[in-house]
Amino acid sequence: MKQKVSLVILALFLFQIGYAQLVISSKSEEQILKTTPLETIYINTNRNNFFPGEYLYFSLFCINMKTYKLSEISKVAYVKLIAENGEEISTQKIRLKNGLGQGDIFVETSIPSGSYKLVAFTHWMKNAPASQAFNVDIAIINPYKNNQEALISSSKDSLNNSSANSLPKNDNSSVLKLKLNKVTYANREAVELSVINDQKVFGHGNYSLSVTHIDKLPSPNFTSAENFVKVYPDLMRQIPQTVGDTISFPEQRGELISGKITYGETDLPVAKTEVAISLPGEYFQLKAATTYPDGKFFAYANAPYNGETAVIEMVEPDSSNYTINSYDPSSWSSKLSGFFEFEIDSTMKESIRNRSIYNQIENSYYEVKPDTVLQWQGVNPYNIDPFYGEPPTVYNLDEYTRFNTLQETLVEFIEHVWVKKFNNGDYTFWVRTPLDDVRKGEYTTDPPLVTIDGILMPNHNNLLSFNARRLKSIKVLRHPLVLDNKNYQGMVALETIDGNYIDEWRSAAGKKISYRPSTMEKQYYSQGSSLDAHIPDYRYQLHWLPHFRLKSPEKQILFYTSDVKGTYRIRLEGFTDYGKPVSSVQYFEVE
């Protein structure tokens, strides 16, 4: 039944994106939409107070509000760090895989001391009230800025915070227990942690774990997964909208790309017009959509795109002037309240000084202890295939005699590609189908897709004089393609030597828009052995596992202490496969 509902809702959006309006047009559509559960998100952070130079790590658990299990509806979530005055300090686009996501925010020295909120939501959750989006309090103490007046206490003994004076107490869940080989460790000593599952299959699930130093500085209380589920009765399980209401689509097929096209002179919508969307680069993606009667259009990037610019262009424009505006699915307009209140006083001076110095030392040794390893470095981790599964014929132009223009190059040695001139003076590329090899005729009725550095070029007229000496390669695909219900006979992909045609691209019927790439998954630094004695080790964050899967009676986790003495907290948060929340806390000392 679950799969059937998912397929029905997906089919509905496939239909709507091409032709229907942005409102619920019938009772049957409303009923289908209401069968798709709403979502909420639980955020687990590595800690809740930060200094400049530190990373705010977070893991996301997107929850289906009908089953209370991990949601498979949305493929994208958005995380924002918002100041008390409403300023958005950071916005992250997070890819969700089976309801799980992760990311981090580097705390810049420009961020002032104060209270902040970390908010997470999906586009589908925008149909519910703002309370559907879970948020967590964050305190930032920036000793490098002078504007601390709002936080300085008039009393030397004042300490207005929720957790700095509380004594550490172990709190193990009934499902999973944390067990250490001992409770007191020396500097740079190995810590052997066991995650014990006594509940067999009922303990199987997805979890997040943080090991961090705790001090006497103000820090908001954590919201544990077990406390988080207590708000479930107050959240919506299905969309409240009815016939005639506008809805926000779920990003069920990937990252949403949308906008609106109007006539420049009248501001009237450009309706029922095909729009090409290019995500340029080596692993480019081509998308297309048809505008609604109100001029809006939608498409999805099925695979993550790591570029910061997309190109939107009308495929068959007339001589009119156009205005193209893009829509940001990460927009958030709801006001937040109930920010964490805290003050700092002279009793915290030593803690602030030590942590600031240790952070600076750690950052200076970043190359020795790299915090992350990016997946995107030199690889194509998501197997993005611009040629739709068919291998193209590749012409590396350095292997041939070079000619000045693209037209000369096509004539001299690019097989099965030619240019045709129409009676109106326009030129169009043509690609011979594989079945035409024997007959050698021009038995094709559809032109090919033509791209430069991954940018679709609907108008071929200006390409013929393109300086071919700037080209690195020409890739030819001869199999038929379909883009937004329009047929194309193959593809001619031009790749420049510099790969930066996006910088010079211009079109009267198109626009370059800013694109927010999704955060790539990272492998966070974890010290695997004791460092050389001459390398300082002042880590406050000893270990961070944004997600790990548990399907056994026990999991062993090994990490090392640093040169920072004091009390450390191990926090495990997550959910079993049956939707049960799990929260466990364990403390230990480094002397």
Contact 91, 103 (CB under 8 A): no
**pLDDT band per the 50, 70, 90 thresholds, residue 12:** low
Eight-class DSSP state of 89: E
Residue 209's Cβ-side half-sphere holds a number of Cα atoms within 13 Å equal to 26
Judged by average pLDDT, the poorest of 15-24, 349-358, 452-461 is 15-24
**pLDDT band per the 50, 70, 90 thresholds, residue 148:** low
Q: What pLDDT shows up at residue 8?
A: 44
Q: pLDDT tens-digit profile of 427-455?
A: 999 998 887 555 555 556 789 999 999 99
Sequence-distant (≥ 6) Cβ neighbours of residue 440 within 8 angstroms = none
pLDDT value at 167 more than 60: no
DSSP 313-371: EESS--SS-EEEEEE-TT-------------B-GGGHHHHHHHHHHHHHHHHTTTTS-S
Sequence-distant (≥ 6) Cβ neighbours of residue 328 within 8 angstroms = 516
DSSP 370-420: -SEEETTTTS-TT---TTTT-PPEEEEGGGS---SBHHHHHHHH-TTEEEE
**pLDDT band per the 50, 70, 90 thresholds, residue 255:** very high
Rounded CA-CA distance 286/451 in Å is: 9
Domains in the chain, please, with CATH? 37-237+332-375+521-590 (2.60.40.1930), 393-519 (2.170.130)
Q: pLDDT tens-digit profile of 26-43?
A: 999 999 999 999 999 999
DSSP 491-502: EEEEEESS--GG
**Residue type (1 letter), 372:** T
Rounded CA-CA distance 203/216 in Å is: 34
Q: What pLDDT shows up at residue 163?
A: 46
Q: What pLDDT shows up at residue 469?
A: 95
pLDDT > 90: percent of the chain: 68
Average pLDDT over residues 315-323: 85
CB atoms within 10 A of CB 367: 6
Average pLDDT of the chain?
87
Contact 214, 590 (CB under 8 A): no
Eight-class DSSP state of 142: -
**pLDDT band per the 50, 70, 90 thresholds, residue 529:** low
Eight-class DSSP state of 468: G
Q: What pLDDT shows up at residue 534?
A: 79
